[in-house]
Every structure is written in structure tokens, then in C-alpha cells.
Amino acid sequence: MKLRDVDVAVIGAGPAGLAAAIKAKEAGASNVIVMERTEQMGGLLHQCVHNGFGLFYFNEDLTGPEYAHRFIEKAIDTGVKALLETMVTEISPDREIKAVSREAGFITFKPKAIVLAMGCREKTRGALGIPGTRPAGIFTAGTAQRLVNIEGYVPGRRVVILGSGDIGMIMARRLTLEGAKVEAVVEILPYTGGLIRNEVQCLHDFDISPLLKHTVTQIHGEQRIEAVTIAQVDESKRPVAGTERIIQCDTLLLSVGLIPENELSLMAGVKIDPITAGPIVDEMRQTSIPGIFAGGNVVHVHDLVDNVSWESELAGQSAARFASGVKAVEGKVRLRAGKNIRYIVPQTISGQSEVTLYMRVSEMEENVHLQIGDILSRGLRVVKPSEMLKIELSSEHLKRIKEGTTEIIINCEKRRRKQ
């Protein structure tokens, strides 16, 4: 395949990129490539040795590597070409890609369509501004996961984990199974930040009680971390004076947030949603630039890889159609986040095809009413920011959209008790 003949170029060969590329081939694109900066396809799935993947997509309980294997095999079978150890350094608004690799050197070409599937990165100590010294022994949870599960090192034996999101909880279990002692899991909110399944199977199973409404206020140790100071926080998440105490440790893991990696998207001039930090997309996952599509964590951070795959398939399919000259239906209806809704993806819909809406709430609430304009209403027993909501709009629902509607507001409010 010559680069100038590429129909669809997918940036990233993690679960999002692979799903998009496979679907692009299935949708009829002849020349589809994935451009991946590491030495293999599969992305971060390789370091996720735990199970819980594919429960919905495959109806099986798979580990990360097993989930990756399925998509890698399918990609190869369907004829997706992989440019590995290839780093895309630039994407221009008119879809020119510049990349560099050991083998190919410096390459530049213009595919007919691009799918952005770069995933996300972790929030750092530097960005949080945790006070104290700058010793060795501080890692984000994902980096620690790579060290433990791929490189073959256990960073330390007395670990404090800041943040009880899924990756933090998963690493609490993983490190315990590798012989380390998790001294504390510190969480700023009054509830854990991940799936309840992980709270039980990663914390309770190992007698780890998360310290809720606490945060790390100082790091100690000059060469290697020696301890952290933790303190209780008030409703505004500010440390309460007098509640400080010291926890000795030799390692600090940070699981404090994931941010879509949109450096290339910004270069291409794609419009970014300030709340998701990802591209604004329509139901076919086209960004504000025709011919540039996006799917997976680069659009918004998912909880389940199953949804990453489904979403990215939309992007891949659309990219293939675009490459063959089919014009996409414009998204005329803007979806707006109302009460207790943090964001919705896609940000716009056409109102003419069935569509799945993904959204997150801002705060945890029980017994709520989810109201999508006046076209759909659903009661939910509990909603949590860390558990993405998935709502399917069927053609029945779409029929209720009034002619000329340009905006639908989505609200999530506490249900009023029936008399």
C-alpha cells in the first residue's frame, strides 16, 4: 500500500483505533492504516491483566490482553495495515499527516479521512500541585501498572494511593497480589470514584478501607518519598486544619483523573468541548472538520472498553463513507447539559437516525428522573459521575422531536415522591 493511496488513517491502535479501522474496512474502505507509536497494536489493554472487559461487547468476561487479541486478530484478518513505532507529530486542518518512525523515517501524506483515536493521559502531581518535596517514588497509577505488568518491577512495598477511581483500585489489588502493602487509599469525595465491583473486589477483598473525604496535603522525603500527610476535607474539598496525620510509605500512586490527549486535534483545528476536553462530535463521530472523525477516550473518558469499541466503530464507518465520497447528514440538533448533567456525547444529532447518547452526571444522586427534552424520560435508582449513562434513542423517540428544533436540553433531577 502506498501512503498516497490511504483511504482512512487511524491515529492510535488501541481498542478505539482497532475498532475504527476494522469497521472502516468492513464499510468498504480499501486502504486502511493504523498509526501506532508503540511496538504493538492493542494500546493500554496489554497492561490491564485483570478481567471485566467485554462483558457487553462479547458477553464474556475477558482480561485486557484477551480483549486486545480479538481485535488485533480481526484487524489483521480484515486487511488493516499497521505502521508501528510510528509517531504522528502533526495533523493539519486539511488532513495532512506528518509522522516519524525508525523504519520509514520522516513521512508525510494526506489520507482521504482521519480517525483520531489517541486515547487519554493521566493527571499528574505537577498539575495537582501537591505540596512538598520532589522525591522519587511518585507515579501515576497507569505508569505503575505498566511497570508492574509489562516491565516487571514493583515500584515499592508500602504504597499510598491517592484517588479511588477504577485504575487506583485496580492497582491497590495488583500491588497487594505482588506482595506490597497498600497503606491507604485516599479519596477526596464522600464515595469511591469507580465501579462498585472494583470497590468490593479490589479494596474490601483485601481489607483496604478507603479514607473518604481525605486528601494528600504534603509529600515528604528528599531522595525517595518517605511519607505523606493526609487531612480530612470539607464540602468545598479544602483540607480541614487539625485533621492532618502522617502515613509512612515508599511509593505514592496517583489516580486523580484522565484527560483526553488532544494535542493533534488542536493542531488540526478541531473544535474542542471545554467540559469533555475532547472534540465536539456528531452522532457519526465527525468532528468540526469534515473528514476528521474521532472515537474512544480521545472524545471523552469511558469506563468500559466495550463502549469505546462501539463508539469507535461509528467513527470508522463514517470515515470509510467519507473517503468514498458520501456526505454525512448534518447534525442540526444541539444537545445541552441541563441539571446535574456534566456532558453529553455526541454533542449534536441529526434527529433522523437512531442514536446512543453517552452522558455523565456532575454529582451522585439517588432516585432521579432523566429527562431528554420532551422525547424521553427515565427513572434511575442511582447516578454517579464515575458511571457513564447510556441512553438509546429509537425512531419512536426521534419522531417526537418537533420540526425546527435546534436544541434539546437534558436534565437529571431528583424524583418527586408520589403522594
Partner 1 sequence: MTTKEKIICVGCPMGCRVTLTISNREVMAVDGNKCKQGEKYVLEEYHNPVRILTTTLLTQGSSQRLLPVRTAKPIPKAKMMSAVRILAKVRVKPPIKIGEVVAAKPSGIEVDVMATADLLS
Partner 2 sequence: MDGRTSPKRDIWSPVPKKKGVKAYMLKTEVLIIGGGALGTAIARGLSRYKVKAILVEKDVDFGWGSTKANMSIVCQGADSLEFRKEYHRTRLVQESIPMMESLCSELDVPFKRIGELAVFFNDEGRAKYEKMKARAESVGITTHQFIDRDALRNMEPNIAKGAIGALYDPNIAVTDPVRLTIALAENARQNGVELITGTEVKAIAKGTDGFEVKTSQGIISTEFIVNAAGTSVDKVAAMVNADDFVVYPVRGYVAVLDKKVADLVNHEVHARLEAPGENNIITPTVHGNLFIGTPMKLAKRGEHITTKEMERVTLSNGRRLVPDISEKDIINSFTGFLMFRNWELGWHECVVRPSRNVPRFINVSIGYPGVSAAPATAKEVVRLLSQEGLKLQEKPDFNAYRKAIADFSELSDEEKQELVASDSRYGHVVCRCETVTEGEIVEAIRRGATTLDGVKFRTRAGMGRCQSGFCLPRVVGILSRELGIPPKDITKKGHESRQLLFESKELIEGRR
Which does residue 46 bind out of partner 2, partner 1, none, counting CB within 5 to 8 angstroms by kind?
Answer: partner 1
Strands 292-294 and 8-11: what pairing?
Answer: unpaired
Which range binds partner 1 by CB under 8 A, 23-31, 63-71, 76-84, 280-288? 63-71
154 binds partner 1 per the rule CB under 8 A? no
Which of 95, 213, 321, 384 binds partner 1 (CB under 8 A)? It is 384
246 binds partner 2 per the rule CB under 8 A? no
Unique residue bearing C-alpha cell 446512543: 356
Which range binds partner 1 by CB under 8 A, 2-10, 45-53, 101-109, 330-338? 45-53
Which range binds partner 2 by CB under 8 A, 140-148, 201-209, 280-288, 340-348? 140-148
Sheet hosting strand 341-345, strand order edge to edge: 341-345, 355-361, 389-393
For 157, residues 6+ apart whose C-beta sits below 8 A from its C-beta are 179, 180, 181, 250, 251
Q: How far apart are CA 179 and CA 82, in angstroms?
A: 38
Q: How far apart are CA 36 and CA 255, in angstroms?
A: 25
Q: Shortest gap between Cβ of 354 and partner 2 (angstroms)?
A: 36
157 binds partner 2 per the rule CB under 8 A? yes
Q: Shortest gap between Cβ of 184 and partner 2 (angstroms)?
A: 18
163 binds partner 2 per the rule CB under 8 A? no
Which of 103, 106, 126, 151 binds partner 1 (CB under 8 A)? It is 151
Q: Which of residues 170-209 bind partner 1 (CB under 8 A)?
A: 176-179, 195-197, 199-201, 204-205
Grouping H, G, I as helix, E, B as strand and the rest as coil, residue 342 is: strand
For 134, residues 6+ apart whose C-beta sits below 8 A from its C-beta are none
155 binds partner 2 per the rule CB under 8 A? yes
SS3 letters for 116-143? ECCCEEECCHHHHCCCECCCECEEEHHH
- 59-65 contact pairs (CB < 8 A, 24+): 64/305
Which does residue 205 bind out of partner 1, partner 2, none, counting CB within 5 to 8 angstroms by kind?
Answer: partner 1
* 186, 159 Cβ separation under 8 angstroms: no
Q: How far apart are CA 19 and CA 23, in angstroms?
A: 6
Count of positions on this chain that bind partner 1 (CB under 8 A)? 32
Which of 66, 226, 261, 413 binds partner 1 (CB under 8 A)? It is 66
Which range binds partner 1 by CB under 8 A, 75-83, 314-322, 325-333, 379-387? 379-387
148 binds partner 2 per the rule CB under 8 A? yes
Q: DSSP per residue over 169-181, as a string?
A: HHHHHHHHHTT-E
334 binds partner 1 per the rule CB under 8 A? no
Which does residue 224 bind out of partner 1, partner 2, none, counting CB within 5 to 8 angstroms by kind?
Answer: partner 2
Name the nearest CA neighbour of 298 among 344, 264, 347.
Answer: 264
Site string for partner 2, 202-231 (x = CB under 8 A): ---------------xx---xxx-------
Which does residue 102 bind out of partner 2, partner 1, none, counting CB within 5 to 8 angstroms by kind?
Answer: partner 2
Grouping H, G, I as helix, E, B as strand and the rest as coil, residue 196 is: helix
Helix (H) or strand (E) segment spanning residue 411: strand 407-414
Q: Which region, left, alpha or beta, applies to residue 85 given φ > 0 means left and ψ of -120 to 50 means alpha? A: left
Query: Residue numbers of the site for partner 1 (CB under 8 A)?
Result: 46, 49-51, 61-66, 69, 148-152, 176-179, 195-197, 199-201, 204-205, 381-382, 384, 387
Query: Residue numbers of the site for partner 2 (CB under 8 A)?
Result: 37, 85, 87, 89, 98, 100-106, 108, 121-122, 124-127, 129, 131-137, 139-140, 142-143, 146-148, 150-157, 177-180, 217-218, 222-224, 250-251, 263, 266
